Amino acid sequence: MSHSASSPDAGKRLAALALAALGVVYGDIGTSPLYSFKEVFAGNHPIPVTPQNIYGSLSLFFWALIIVVSVKYVIFIMRADNRGEGGIMALIALALHTVQDKPRQARWIMIFGVLGAAMFYGDGMVTPAMSVLSAVEGLEVGAPALHPFVLPLTLLVLFGLFFVQKNGSAVVGRLFGPVMLCWFSVLALIGVRNILLHPEILAAFNPWYGIDFLLANRAMGLLAMGNVVLAVTGAEALYADMGHFGRKPISRAWFAFVLPALVLNYAGQGAALLADARVADNPFFRSAPEWALYPLIGLATLATVIASQSVISGAFSVTRQAMQLGFLPRMEVLHTNEKAQGQIYLPAVNWGLMVAVMVLVLGFQSSNNLAAAYGIAVTGDMVITSILATVVVAKVWGWGWWRAGLLFSCFLSVELVFLAANILKIPDGGWFPLVAGMVIFILMTTWKRGRQLLDERLRGERLELQPFLAALQASPPHRVAGTAVFFNADPNGVPHALLHNLMHNKVLHERVVLLSVQFFDVPYVPDIDRVEVRALTGNFWRVIVQYGFKDEPDVPQALTMCAEAGLHFTALETSYFIGRATLIPRLGSDMAFWREKIFVAMFRNAGSATSFFRVPSNRVVELGTQVVL
């Protein structure tokens, strides 16, 4: 009886999550019909509008959705979760677990993973520009005289989107699911309308049409493949957002609703093109009834804003995870929803993305030009995901290298063709996401290596904790009332801030807590494992606070958990001491001098530990030191 009662509730919850996933997960891939089919026949490298080319390219679109999205991502990649979490950072963590005792392999996995994350940022810059511009360009279909207003309107929509980020996505998020439900329904209806007029287009689902097209038109086929990949942009979002919704709601939404709607719409655009080659300049809007054009432009603009919102939120999440794993410096993180810890806002990322997106719109001027910049970041990300997933499937799943390699070589054979096709686009604009990705890759690897170098320098100068405590027992300094918490990266060493405080002020607090905060390559650390407390001699305490890469660091809250071990904190009697290093670059170091300069600049501009760890600023004492790299 209880089972029958719970089944309807479980079904309702699954349906609600699937609806929410429509808005958050499928915005990017759901807006691809706006521009992807158009680019084949009216892009910068158009192919002739002939029945053979229409059937062939449409076949390629259909099978790309099946092979890349349905089979690779939904059936296989989404099973490679790190305690329920997905995304490139989770995949890096899983792959690194398999090579813990092999530093050379771990280094290559780290390089590939960081390169994938960098490509994600490149994709995140192009997606809002491409999708919103494609939607607003629909105005030209109804009234060519409106062409001068397309760019200003696009910039206005994008500015509004980035401006409201600081308010959080919770309010707008409630509209995401219903709007995208309406959007996919409209995609399907437009497709069905045109298919009924030319049902022969359904023959394009035969894979032979795609194969024959590629064999008969090798150069032209490769150019077409560079645009076919635009249909699968957003596939990474399925994996990245898995932690928010779970694998089952995302896969159900894909197979039951999103995939059929996309397939019907692409087939409808092909049918419209068969009927009239003149619709090639914008087959999406021209395949709709004339009376529906302006409502469709409005709905498309809403859908592209949602797609852009998903990418922006994803950039916030990836940045925070990269910070926790030590690939980026601390930045200001604002929480926009008290109940949903995943809803965050990073001002630096938000405004940086906005500038990049607006520069793209002004620089490329049209979606045709932007299409060249779009595909290469997406395909690069997909190739890297396949390589990392091969390691996970071989070692974590226990398939072995032969079986895992055979499976992912099938996906890589398709993705490498996509990559080769997009390499041809580099002179037309594909250079932008490559340059942007390379800059971010250099910044992330420089920060990681710089932190390692800094830690080595500090360890070389450190005092061992136990001899230091023994010396204090032999010659105790004056003690004052209260509790001092010293942040300490190395649990077995003496914090530099403690040494400086003792050297200059000649006193110690009545109770001294040496606090180490550690981040692990798992998404979350359960509360039961959050703190480790150990009493030392002389009323010293060692506390280790542990977080996962998706946890929200909150040191004062974590310290309240120490009460069970007999360590109680009173807020007004606790002072937090933080060491602040001034770095000095030098020639002949273990890192190139130009990278040292970059690291020093990043270190100087990093956010404060106070706000990152949510320490009350009026209880913080900062003590400086100089370190030569």
pLDDT by residue (tens digit) across 264-292? Answer: 999 999 999 999 888 888 899 988 888 88
Angle at which helix 103-136 crosses helix 347-364, to 10 degrees, equals: 60
Nearest-angstrom CA–CA distance, 232 and 419: 13
Q: State both tokens at 348.
A: 């630096």
pLDDT for 1 equals 40
Q: Is the pLDDT of residue 336 over 70?
A: no
CATH homologous superfamily, domain 10-429: Amino acid/polyamine transporter I (1.20.1740.10)
Cα–Cα distance measured from residue 379 to residue 384, given in angstroms and rounded to the nearest whole number? 9
Task: Give the angle 421-422-428 at the CA atoms, nearest 5°.
Answer: 120
Local structure of residue 82 (DSSP, 8 states): B
Nearest to 135 by CA among 346, 293, 278: 293
- Residue 329: phi, psi to the nearest 5? -70, 165
Q: What is the pLDDT of residue 4?
A: 43
CA distance 402 to 314: 34
pLDDT 10s digits, 457-513: 877 777 888 888 888 888 888 889 999 999 988 888 888 888 888 888 888 999 999
First to last CA, the chain: 68
489-503 tens-digit pLDDT: 888 888 888 888 888
Whether pLDDT at 340 is above 60: no
The confidence band for 532, taking pLDDT boundaries of 50, 70 and 90, is very high
What mean pLDDT is reported for the chain? Answer: 85
Supply 481's token pair: 């009332």
Q: Are 512 and 603 in contact (CB under 8 A)?
A: no
Each residue of 203-255: pLDDT tens digit? 999 999 999 988 888 778 888 888 888 898 888 878 877 776 778 888 888 99
Sheet holding 574-584, edge to edge: 531-535, 540-548, 507-520, 478-487, 574-584, 620-628
Nearest to 615 by CA among 486, 428, 432, 474: 486
Q: Which tokens belong to 352? A: 């940086």
Give the model confidence (pLDDT) of 408-445 as tens digits.
Answer: 999 998 888 888 888 888 887 888 888 888 899 999 99
- What pLDDT, in 10s, does the model give residues 5-46? 446 677 777 777 777 777 778 888 888 998 888 888 887 778
Cα-Cα-Cα-Cα dihedral of 412, 413, 419, 423, to 10°?
140
Tell me the C-alpha distance between 17 and 250, whole Å: 8
Nearest to 586 by CA among 575, 596, 577, 578: 596
Q: Which amino acid is at 307?
A: A
**pLDDT tens digits for 544-562?**
999 987 788 899 999 999 9
Q: What is the mean pLDDT of residues 524-532?
A: 89
Select the more confidently predicted residue: 340 or 224: 224
- Angle (CA) 62-66-71 rounded to 5° is 170
- The whole-angstrom separation of Cα 607 and Cα 617 is 13
Q: Residue 326 has what DSSP assignment?
A: T
- Angstrom distance (rounded) from CA 154 to CA 160: 10
Q: Where are the beta strands (DSSP E) in 315-402?
A: 334-335, 344-345
pLDDT at position 396 is: 85
d(CA 463, CA 394): 44
Domain ranges of the chain: 10-429, 457-628
**Residue type for position 509:** H
pLDDT, tens digit, 9 for 90 and up, residues 325-334: 888 898 887 7
* CA neighbor of 222 nearest in space, from 433, 40, 380, 386: 40
**Could you tell me whether strands 507-520 and 540-548 are parallel, antiparallel, or unpaired per DSSP bridges?**
parallel
Inform me whether the pLDDT recorded for 517 exceeds 80: yes
Residue 246: CB atoms within 10 A of its CB come to 19
pLDDT in tens, 45-97: 788 889 999 999 999 999 999 999 999 999 988 888 777 777 777 788 888 87
pLDDT of residue 5: 43
Distance between CA atoms of residues 515 and 355, nearest Å = 39
- Residue 6: what pLDDT? 46
> Once rounded to an integer, what is the mean pLDDT over residues 600-612?
85
Residue 595, Cα to own-chain centre: how many angstroms? 25
On whether the CB atoms of residues 42 and 280 are closer than 8 A, the answer is yes
Mean pLDDT of 579-583: 80
Q: At what angle do helices 147-163 and 293-324 cross, to 10 degrees?
A: 40
Residue with tokens 């200003």: 152
Torsion over CA: 159, 164, 168, 174 (sign):
negative
pLDDT at 622 (0 to 100)? 84
3-state secondary structure (DSSP) of residue 524: coil
Compare 406 and 119 and report the one with higher pLDDT.
Answer: 406
- What 3 state SS string does 610-622 have? HHHCCCCHHHEEE
